[in-house]
Structure 1
């Protein structure tokens, strides 16, 4: 395990920030990118964070539990009813183009020897994401996939309250007013 002073995290979606600033309920599913520098020149990894509440909703409302999505649904059910607090779901290359998109860090390989192109961390440790819960998850991911131990997790590209409010009003308020 290598000690690193700080890992920098960038949250991809505005929905996370809408929840942080109280414009809507807190996010339950977010994508993050990790860097070892604040300037974002040293990419460490890209991950999705999903709460158990989110995957339960996915299972109940968005999945074909007996058809094409059966294996994925079985994996979700196993996690929901199992003893693990964290589970990683991996998407592996589906074609030759995907092979070039394999994660650059440590990750389990599939039967063909390929690393995942996408990693989703399912978590029972939180019902929704706030900044502290994201930091806790980043530390776990850093340990599990990057072989890094860090105390400091810093957010980069944090929008201001005013920027977030403007984005929220442009993205969601028109739809709220229509209903």
Structure 2
């Protein structure tokens, strides 16, 4: 049995899972082959279609980010349920931050430094939707047929509530 271990980088995901706020539609994850986080596979930024629509309508500059906006629009209007967008090295320093796994290279023969995963499979992220996308990512980038996805460092309800009340709730406009 092949297992991939997932670390979700931000508390906002867990706030939504435990019902303190709406579930998130954008999360960052890191994948490992072991529970101790020694054998790193890769990291990914997960965005659902509603998140992408929000980016287009409210956050991106359609002139400055023209190419990225165009990619998003093509995905939204296309037939794929999962798509990828890559950030490639912009300078010599970035070259040392290329991903190590299997990915498309750019015209300069460089691998990306960061990967966005776009999904129409769910409107928000929860544990089951992340399990589903991790299996797809594992197959697409690592040629792994994953049977089990295990989350690392799952905070308890109480830990999440304390974090939410301390770090998030005070900044919510009511």
Q: Place the TM-score, normalised by the shorter chain, in its bin.
A: over 0.9
Q: Does 1:72 align with 2:68?
A: yes
2:38 corresponds to which of 36, 41, 44: 41
Residue of structure 1 equivalent to 2:132: 136
Q: Tell me by how many angstroms 1:152 deviates.
A: 0.4
Aligned partners of 1:50, 1:173: CA distance in 2, in Å? Answer: 23
1:22 corresponds to which of 10, 19, 28: 19
- Deviations along 1:30-57, whole A, 9 cap, x unmatched? 0000000001000011111100000100
Residue of structure 1 equivalent to 2:84: 88
Residue of structure 1 equivalent to 2:56: 59
Q: Does 1:12 align with 2:21?
A: no
Q: Does 1:122 align with 2:118?
A: yes
2:147 corresponds to which of 125, 148, 151: 151
Q: Tell me by how many angstroms 1:74 deviates.
A: 0.8
Q: Tell me by how many angstroms 1:5 deviates.
A: 1.7
Q: Tell me by how many angstroms 1:11 deviates.
A: 0.2
RMSD across aligned positions (CA): 1.0
Aligned partners of 1:173, 1:7: CA distance in 2, in Å? Answer: 32
Residue of structure 2 equivalent to 1:107: 103
Equivalent position SS for 1:72: helix
Q: Does 1:165 align with 2:146?
A: no
TM-score normalized with structure 2 length: 0.97
What residue ranges of structure 1 are gaps of 5+ in the alignment?
none
Runs of 4+ in 1 over 6 A off after TM superposition: none
Aligned partners of 1:109, 1:120: CA distance in 2, in Å? Answer: 15
Aligned partners of 2:141, 2:170: CA distance in 1, in Å? Answer: 41
